[in-house]
Amino acid sequence: MVHNFNAGPSILPKEVFEQAAAAVLNYNNTGLSILELGHRTSTFQAVMDEARALLKELMQLDDDHEVLFLHGGASTQFMQVPMNLLDEKDIAAYSDTGVWSSKAIKEAKLFGKPEVVCSGKENNYTSIPKDFAVPNDAKYFHITTNNTIYGSQWQKIPVTSNVMIADMSSDILSRSMDFNSFGLIYAGAQKNIGAAGVNIVVVNKNILGKIKRNIPTIMDYRNHIKEGSMLNTPPVFAVYVCMLTLRWLKALGGVTAIEKINNEKANLLYNEIDANPLFKGTIAAEDRSKMNVCFVMHNSDLEEPFLNFAKENGIIGIKGHRLSGGFRASLYNAMPLHSVQVLVEVMQEFARQHQ
Ligand SMILES: Cc1ncc(COP(=O)(O)O)c(C=O)c1O
C-alpha cells in the first residue's frame, strides 16, 4: 500500500477516485463520459449547482458571499484580486509569510501599492509574525493562511478593520473559522478540495465595483457571479471532482469533524518529531502547520537513507521543498490517520536502526 504525502496535487478520498473514474466511462448512466458533457447541459448545471451549494453549506456562508469556480490556479488570483480591488494609488496591506505571499505581493505591485506590514523573511519564514499594525486606509489585508512550503500556519486569523483577503490554497475547509469575516478567499482546489485545474473563489459581492480601472471581461469577478461561473467553459471535470470531495466531507460531518481528525494527525506526527532523537521540527511550535508538517534530521547525512527507507515502506512524497530541505509530510483532509501512524512507525524503526 502506498501512503501519499505529496503537497499537491495530492491525495483525495478513495471513493472520490472511484466515482470520478466511473464517471469518465459512463456518467450517471447517461452513456456519456463526464469529459464529453456540454457545460450548458442541465446535467452539468446540476453538478455546478451542487458543488456551489455544498461549499456554501460547509463554509456556512451568508447571502453576501458568492462562490465561484474559476480557471488559472491560485496564482491567477495573485493578480485578479488587486486588479478587481485596487486603483493605482490605493494601498493594500500584505503579510509576507513565505513564497506564495511574496508572489502575491509582486503581482499586486502591477495594480496598486502593496505595503508589507509584517514579514517572516528575516528568520527564513520559521514563524508567523506577531506584532504589526495594518494601516486603516489599506483597501484590504492579505494573508496566506497556510504556508505550504515552509509549513507554518496562522493559528489565529488577525482581526483588523480592513477587508480581509486570504489565500487558503493549502488549508481551506481543514478547520473551522468564520469564513463570512473575509472579503475574499481563494484556493487552488488541488489540495483539500479536488483535482487540479479549478480555483475556488469566495467573495463578498459588496467589496466589488469600487474602483475606476477597466477590468478585462474574463477577469472581472462580477461577470463570473452574473454567469454562475459559466462565463466561458468551466473546467468541467475538475468541478465534478470538487463536488464529489465536498459530498464526502459533508457525509463525514463537515469542517468541525475533519478538524478533529486533522488535529489528531498533526499531533501524532509532531509528537513523534519532538520525541524522536533523529528528527527536529523547523517551525516555531505555536505556528506549526497542521497541513504541511516540515522537519529535518539532526544529522543531515541520514536524510537520504531515511527517504529511501520510507519509500521502501510505501511512504511517498515526503521530500521537503528545495527551499526548506528536509522533509514535508502533507496531511490534507483526505489523508487517513492510518497513513500518519505508518509514517510514525517508520520513523521509530529508522531511529532504532540508527542509534
Ligand atoms: C498557498 C499557496 N498559494 C498559491 C499556490 C499556487 O497555486 P497554483 O499552482 O494553483 O497557481 C500554492 C501552490 O501550492 C499554494 O500552496
Question: Ligand 1 test: best mutation among 100, 165, 190, most atoms within 8 Å of CB?
Answer: 100
Q: How many whole angstroms from 40 Cα to the centroid of ligand 1?
A: 29
> Active site includes 100?
yes
Instruction: Give the span between the Cα atoms of 288 and 337, in whole angstroms.
Output: 18
C-alpha distances out from residue 342 to 32, 290, 318, 337, Å: 40, 17, 13, 9
Q: Which of 258, 274, 225 is nearest to 65 (CA)?
A: 225
* 102 ligand 1 Cβ < 6 A: no
First and final CA of the chain: distance in angstroms? 28
Ligand 1 touching residue 170 (CB < 6 A): yes
Residue 124 and residue 284 in contact, taking contact as beta carbons nearer than 8 Å? no
Question: Of these residues, 96, 154, 191, 287, which one is catalytic?
Answer: 191
What pLDDT shows up at residue 200? Answer: 98
Ligand 1: distance of its center to the CA of 119 in Å?
A: 19
3-state secondary structure of 23: helix
Which is catalytic among the residues 96, 167, 171, 220? 167
pLDDT block averages, 10 residues each, the chain of length 355: 96 98 97 96 97 98 98 97 98 98 98 98 96 97 98 97 98 98 98 96 98 97 98 97 98 98 98 98 98 97 97 97 93 98 98 93
pLDDT at residue 324, rounded to an integer: 85
CB 181 within 8 A of CB 263: no
pLDDT at 25: 98
**Is ligand 1 within 6 A of the CB of residue 100?**
yes
pLDDT score recorded for residue 355: 80
- Does 280 participate in catalysis according to the annotation? no
Residue 148 Cβ contacting ligand 1 at under 6 Å: yes
113 noted as active-site residue: no
pLDDT computed for residue 310 by the predictor: 98
Q: Is the beta carbon of 197 within 6 A of some atom in ligand 1?
A: no
pLDDT for residue 323: 86
Phi/psi for 69 (5° steps) reads: -115, 110
* pLDDT of the residue at 249: 98
pTM above 0.85, yes or no: yes
pLDDT in tens, 258-274: 999 999 999 999 999 99
Q: Is 74 in the pocket of ligand 1 (CB under 6 A)?
A: yes
The C-alpha cell that represents 311 in the structure block: 519509500
Pocket test for ligand 1, best of 6, 75, 147 (most atoms within 8 A of CB): 75
User: Which ligand 1 atom is at minimum distance from the Cα of 98?
Assistant: 1
Distance of CA 19 to the CA centre of its chain: 23
Ligand 1 center to residue 29 CA distance, Å? 35
